[in-house]
Structure 1
Amino acid sequence: MSFVKATVAAIAVAAVSATTAAARDQVHIAGSSRVLPYASIVAEAFGENFDFPTPIVEGGGSGAGRKRMCEGVGLNTIDIANSSSLMKEEQWTTCEATVGKVTEVRIGYDGITFSTRLENTGFEDLTPEQIYLALSDKSEAATWADVDASLPALAIKAFIPGTKHGTREVFETKVMLAGCKAVGTYDEVFAANGGDKKAAEKECFKVRTDGASVDIDGDYTETLASLDANPEGIGVFGLSFLLNNTDKLYAANINGVEPSTETIASGEYPVSRPLQFYVKNAHVSQVPGMKEYLEFFVSDEIAGPDGPLAEYGLVSDPELEATQEMVAEIN
């Protein structure tokens, strides 16, 4: 008898939970810590300007956000996944097999910088080749001067994004892989593995495990704190974070190009990336205000060059109008 009562009670609780989920009236978003501040700005402005509740915005990382969005259809799952890395084709196929149509919405661009404290002179210019030679798991260099005599004789200590962050993919492909190819290691591994491109790339991505390269699993404030504790170190930061901390940090030019909103928007700066979010289309008609939120996010007033996101450091997308037209068709 007690078992039956417990079972009935459990069913009742489940029914209440399902009803609550079905009645959800807030857009629910999770994902990239890099996109998080932009999405938070938009969510707050949306709540202030529309007759809908302020959307819930959480972090957790690009991969984790996409995974949550792809868990299934239903209002107990999130609606939008913020992402600083692009969804791979196989991930997209698997996700759409579970949740139906998914739309990628680019919101602008960001560049990652290699920055150090103002007192550390000599890092004004770096190349992917130098960074690879310093941080590769094959490196035995103790100081930056061991890598290149033109660099300071400071111990190599770099704080890089952890593997769960979308920023890590940019670091690997735009810096480590580029440097690996420049020094010839990629070609050697490619040939040794019978022309296996993925194996060669994976080898190029490997970083030191002797303490010279340190993964940061938190956000950029953790990287900054690591530089405070290791003042001769170098950290990887997004451009917007750097611009908000120029009283403490400066960034190296990469291949002679200064990181700026202009060089990132033009594609001249080599370590840049698009920022985007992924939309579960099946929820657009189910969650009040979701379509309005999407259109508001990519509006000129918000994502344009004179909007609040640009003020915070987002590089406006030159093709924003095309994105607006695409979002208008989401249903």
Structure 2
Amino acid sequence: MLSFGSLNINAKDLSLEASSNSSKNSFFEFFKKKNRQHIHIVGSSTVYPFSATIAENFGYQNFYKTPIVEATGTGGGFKIFCSGIGFDYPDLVNASRRIQKSEISKCQENGISVGEIKIGYDGIVLANSIQGIDYNLTLEEIFLALASQVPDQKNPLRLIANPYQKWSDINSKLSNQKIIVYGPPPTSGTRDSFSELVMEKTCLKIPAFIKNYPDEKIRAKKCHLIRSDGIFIEAGENDNLIVQKLKNNPIALGIFGFSFLEENRQLIKASKINNFIASQDNIISGSYQISRPLFIYFKKEHLDLIFAMRQFISEIISNNTLGFEGYLLQKGLIPLTDLELKNVRDEAEINLKN
């Protein structure tokens, strides 16, 4: 017991009070550190330019902190996004394909309810340097150039390791230049879409694949396999790297989104696919066959957890963003139809009201 005049203080009480204050300080410091004030977005490198543009406009016009956007690839983005709820986990994920059942299950396991916003469309292009030759390829020719296995020309029902080294090996009317294609890794949504829209679509009906893989699900997986002998080169999630590779190697082709082509037309040009050029009109009409929808997904649990989340969702679906004169169209996004846009807004507004 300590005595100061008429004031008596118990040392044990003092110790407990100090300990209590220390715990309180630690408690508040923990939440101060964890309670971030910015929105965090991960995912597709294809959707990244659109999402980053929305983030910049949101931060500038509304005086909120500009959301942080990272290009992790669609698959990698979903893996992080679905890992949990709270300040340590991203709030939104960009995707160049629709979320898969396995990813929905992973989110549900961690208590996450997912909201979907389709923002528009994009084409997938095979492009080369403006210094290179002009290509006009069919889906089958692209498949035969890149597939791990192809039908044996001597025995069409037999599958063999891909022997083709030059485009002219596939079709004598094509260039005799060596086949070199730079493309995205398996974690990329562009790779997923390319595998589905080009590889699988072509391969499922090839007699040799039907004979060797009668189960359609197994056949589809085999159709997705890309050769690993150096003809196809994975160039990571950075599309700028692919453009530099094409600039330095005029005979090579690269796979990426139409919007990225639009930004780099001074350096690269797209191949025609089945006689159709990659253009906004041809993608909308379906004449250009390699196209897919683009999405942004959000955590419903974060709508009230993260500051300005509701306002950011409203910015995404606004007429200023996705409308026919919206700023994303200036970045190369292919717009939704009027009905699609109405459905997207109706669904998002229901989520925002709940």
Q: Normalising to structure 2: TM-score of the pair?
A: 0.84
CA spacing shift, 1:130–1:11, aligned 2, 3 Å: farther
* Structure 1 residues not aligned, in runs of 5+: 1-8
Q: Which residue of 1 aligns with 2:97?
A: 85
Confirm or deny that 1:118 pairs with 2:130: yes
Q: Which residue of 2 aligns with 1:20?
A: 33
Q: Which residue of 2 aligns with 1:289?
A: 308
| Cα distance in structure 1, aligned partners of 2:178 and 2:27 | 57
Instruction: Indicate the RMSD between aligned Cα atoms, in angstroms.
Output: 2.1
In the alignment, is the contact (CA less than 8 A) between 1:142 and 1:155 conserved in 2? yes
In the alignment, is the contact (CA less than 8 A) between 2:143 and 2:198 conserved in 1? yes
1:275-322 C-alpha deviation (Å, 9 max, x unpaired): 111110011012221111111112111112222211111111111122
Q: Which residue of 1 aligns with 2:350?
A: 329
Percent of aligned pairs with the same residue? 30
CA spacing shift, 1:238–1:149, aligned 2, 3 Å: same
| Matched AA of 1:142 | Q
In the alignment, is the contact (CA less than 8 A) between 1:186 and 1:201 conserved in 2? no
Confirm or deny that 1:57 pairs with 2:78: no
Q: Which has the larger radius of gyration?
A: 2
SS of aligned partner of 1:210: coil
1:47-76 C-alpha deviation (Å, 9 max, x unpaired): 111142211211211122212221111122
| Matched AA of 2:261 | L
In the alignment, is the contact (CA less than 8 A) between 2:129 and 2:268 conserved in 1? yes
Q: Which residue of 2 aligns with 1:73?
A: 85
SS of aligned partner of 1:112: strand
Confirm or deny that 1:310 pairs with 2:321: no
| Matched AA of 1:130 | E
In the alignment, is the contact (CA less than 8 A) between 2:134 and 2:271 conserved in 1? no
Confirm or deny that 1:172 pairs with 2:159: no
Confirm or deny that 1:36 pairs with 2:48: yes
Confirm or deny that 1:152 pairs with 2:175: yes
Q: Which residue of 2 aligns with 1:237?
A: 256
Query: By how many angstroms is 1:13 displaced?
Result: 6.2
SS of aligned partner of 2:227: coil
Confirm or deny that 1:199 pairs with 2:199: no
Q: Which residue of 2 aligns with 1:5?
A: none
CA spacing shift, 1:307–1:185, aligned 2, 3 Å: farther
1:231-268 C-alpha deviation (Å, 9 max, x unpaired): 20111121111122222222122123221112222333
Q: Normalising to structure 1: TM-score of the pair?
A: 0.90
| Matched AA of 2:29 | V
Q: Which residue of 2 aligns with 1:269?
A: 288
Confirm or deny that 1:137 pairs with 2:148: yes
| Cα distance in structure 2, aligned partners of 1:28 and 1:248 | 32
| Matched AA of 1:274 | P
Q: Which residue of 1 aligns with 2:241?
A: 222
